[in-house]
Amino acid sequence: MKLHRTWIVPIAVLVGLSVLSGCRPSDEQQPPRPSDRGAESQPGVEEPRPVADSEKSRKKPLDLSFVPEECFVAMVVHPRRLIDSPLAQELSEDVAEQVPVAIADILGEMTGHVDADPRTMDQVVVLGLPHEPTGRGYQRPLDLGFVVRFAEPIADEELMGKLSEHIDFADEKATHEGKQYHKGYLKWFPPPGQEEPPDTNRPADLAVHLPDDRTMAFAHGETALKKMLSAKDVKSELVEGLRRIDADNDLILVAMVRGADEPIDRLTEELEGALPPGMRGLLKVPALAKAATFAADLRGDPVAELIVEASDADSAAKLKGLIDDSLTVIKASFIEAREDILKDMPPGAGQSFIELIDETLAGVTLAVDGDRVTVTLTRPRALAKLPGIFDSVHRRNAARAERANKLHQIGLAMNTHEARHDRFPPAAVRDKDGKPLLSWRVTLLPYLEGGNDLYDEFHLDEPWDSPHNVKLIDRMPEVYRIPRRENDGKTTLMAFVGPGTLMGSHEETSPDEVSRKHGAVDKIIVVEAGPDKAVPWTKPEDLPFDPDDPLAALGNIPDDVFLVLFSDGSVHQFRRDIDVKTLRGMIHLQDDAPRY
């Protein structure tokens, strides 16, 4: 879906909470689970509930051994537990296969360097530390450290192999407080004409410590890792907050605002442009809060709980007001977005998604108790429909990807034709009197995979429906076939024809001609029309271009979305409600249009 900026951030947050959540935050009398390294239960503390054998491998205690005193924010994610969640198990096989991929992409983006299967990860701890300036490049708002706990033992060589291929460790090792770590540097790819190697004395880009065969601790830079390696018996407020929270959650976040003014100021500056105007009051939260704790789990009810500890009771009341105002903005924005959601999502899935968001928003409650503000998200009943929504959207997207791939293949064939003849093919093969005989789709055959032999069978001096040529219609290449339809020899991949179009004249058109008239090679060369416009693929029939209403020629467009191939080989999709002037500019050689 293409969502409006004013509400995509808040709705994404709420949906994320409902999808990745369902918390059971514990009260302060409930300690974390005993460590699997043999930590003894604390006297006088209730033992944790028994865990079934099938669950023991995924429910691990929080590994806090590398959390330094300076750490002001920590997030804990249990990737394997997320993948094994009941909701994920209800997904179709095709969609379920994408869950680990999506989680791996998120973790890879977050860590910047780890390339590992999340199904092997029990726990990932992300630590935020005050940034230590290096004087080189982009100055981050904070330094990040990571502790990855794997489900099974892994050899050191394999662990190191899970780091990005762009990191070169070159067997360089160092020691801090008796603990060995590896120093890694971004690989040097010199720009053209520059052979000078990078500065070998620069600080390491990545530092990695392997304490055992199931754990990898690393950080962006040596300074942050050294702080992690120095951590011992830390009793900071953040560590105590992590120890109090129930580890039996999919996602945990603890943040200490007090004492972290500089990194929080930097983060606030970066968030200011991302938040819609009606929610920028949330930027005042750091001035009112001391700490925040968040817990979420796919299995429970309520779905998620956020507890913010304010500076005092008055600040707590102000915080509740800011959150109330933001919820009001989110609800109003979602009402405005309903029509677009129904247009953008498959039939049925859009209505289910709206129902899910409605219940999610209705399930948000706020409470103030002294200096604490608690935001609770009740598990929406419509959450059970989420697998069906994902499956429906996946099927739709897979079909669009198949259609786009066919256009890409045609684009490659067009470009190969242009490279050999310095021209795009004309709309039709014509006889000496100018009568159209065969479509451009036949002309492209030699440039499509496996099309040469079929092309040689055509009588190019005969019309498409001659006794000989008509027999070849049933052998239409797969690239022209209409998706989800038997190969009946008809296609909906067509060109706009008529005065001013790229394939509208009897002559071939060169990219240079497009450039001279428009300034860039980005005109529509092939478009996907509706099924009612299907024609025999060899027939020299395409879409007449009407400058006043170019959309009319496309017929009944499925899902109100159509795909187009531009003369530069790129493929894009547009909704049927695209502005007429914009579409006309993308078709007509002498009209300007936005570039895509």
List of the chain residues with pLDDT < 70:
1-61, 112-114, 133-141, 164-166, 170-171, 187-204, 259, 505-521, 591-596
Tell me: do 430 and 528 sit in the same domain: yes
User: What local confidence, expressed as pLDDT, does residue 130 receive?
Assistant: 84
Tell me: do 329 and 450 sit in the same domain: no
Residue 319: helix, strand or coil by DSSP?
Answer: helix
Opening angle at CA 242, ends 154 and 361, nearest 5: 105
Q: 387 lies in a domain?
A: no
CB 560 within 8 A of CB 488: no
Tell me: do 75 and 151 sit in the same domain: yes
H-type alpha helices, 27-174: 53-56, 79-83, 86-89, 93-96, 98-111, 156-161
Q: 498 lies in a domain?
A: yes
* Predicted confidence (pLDDT) per residue in 19-33, tens digit: 333 333 333 333 333
Tell me: do 422 and 276 sit in the same domain: no
CA distance 277 to 4: 13
The number of domains in the chain is: 3
Buried b (16+ CB within 10 A) or exposed e, 580-591: eeebbbbbbbeb
For the whole prediction, is pTM greater than 0.75? no
Strands 304-310 and 289-296: antiparallel
Tell me: do 405 and 364 sit in the same domain: no
User: What local confidence, expressed as pLDDT, does residue 279 receive?
Assistant: 84
Tell me: do 7 and 95 sit in the same domain: no
Q: 254 lies in a domain?
A: no
Q: 582 lies in a domain?
A: yes
Provide the domain limits for residue 338.
1-23+260-288+303-379
User: What local confidence, expressed as pLDDT, does residue 542 receive?
Assistant: 95
Tell me: do 470 and 353 sit in the same domain: no
Tell me: do 491 and 542 sit in the same domain: yes
Tell me: do 549 and 411 sit in the same domain: yes
Q: 47 lies in a domain?
A: no
User: What local confidence, expressed as pLDDT, does residue 34 receive?
Assistant: 29
Indicate the DSSP class of residue 472.
G
User: What local confidence, expressed as pLDDT, does residue 139 receive?
Assistant: 55
Cα-only R_g, the chain: 30
Residue where a domain terminates, one of 330, 350, 379 = 379
Residue where a domain terminates, one of 379, 408, 427 = 379
Closest CA to 136 of 224, 219, 203: 203
User: What local confidence, expressed as pLDDT, does residue 505 receive?
Assistant: 54
Q: 129 lies in a domain?
A: yes
CB-based burial of residue 545 (10 Å sphere; 0-12 exposed, 13-18 middle, 19+ buried)? buried
* Predicted confidence (pLDDT) per residue in 151-201, tens digit: 999 888 887 777 766 677 766 789 999 999 988 877 655 556 655 555 555
Residue where a domain terminates, one of 379, 409, 433 = 379
User: What local confidence, expressed as pLDDT, does residue 164 receive?
Assistant: 60
Tell me: do 310 and 427 sit in the same domain: no
